[in-house]
Amino acid sequence: MAKILIIDDEKGLCEEFRDILQDEGHVVDTAHNGPDGLKKVEENDFDLVFLDVLMPRMDGTEVFARLKKIKSVPVVIMSGFLPPGKGRQILELGALAVMRKPLDLKQVQKIVHEVDAKKS
């Protein structure tokens, strides 16, 4: 199963998302801000990162840019609001996918299963 990191300042969303993925057998960790998420990426090997865009201290775009310099790990960007063209810009920077909140669980499962299958 996949080892997944969720970086999002919404603690309730992180917990619910973590529980769903853990019920499928995945190993899931969470971080509630960008700096903590980057530290976890430096210290662990994750198969996939779900990253929120709008967060205090450091927004997801900056976290994504720094994360790419630390390790090569697939990143799914999540946001409740993306200005027009921002999703395409993020994909061009190398994100695996861009998802709008509330998240589509079937889409999440599809992405996780694809990443998990590639690592096998």
User: What's the pLDDT band for 76 if we cut at 50, 70, 90?
Assistant: very high
Beta bridge partners of 11: none
Give dist(CA 107, CA 120) in Å, integer: 20
Which domains are present in the chain? 3-119 (3.40.50.2300)
CA distances from 82 to 24, 60, 86, 89, 109 (A): 29, 12, 6, 11, 22
C-alpha distance across the termini of the chain, in Å: 9
> Tens digit of pLDDT for each residue in 3-55?
999 999 999 989 999 999 999 999 999 999 999 999 999 999 999 999 999 89
Residues paired with residue 4 on neighbouring β-strands, in sequence order? 28, 48
Determine if the pTM surpasses 0.85. Answer: yes
pLDDT tens profile 52-67: 998 988 988 899 999 9
Q: Which residues of 32-70 are buried (b: 16+ CB within 10 A; e: fewer)?
A: bbbeebbebbeeeebbbbbbbbbbeebebbebbeebeee
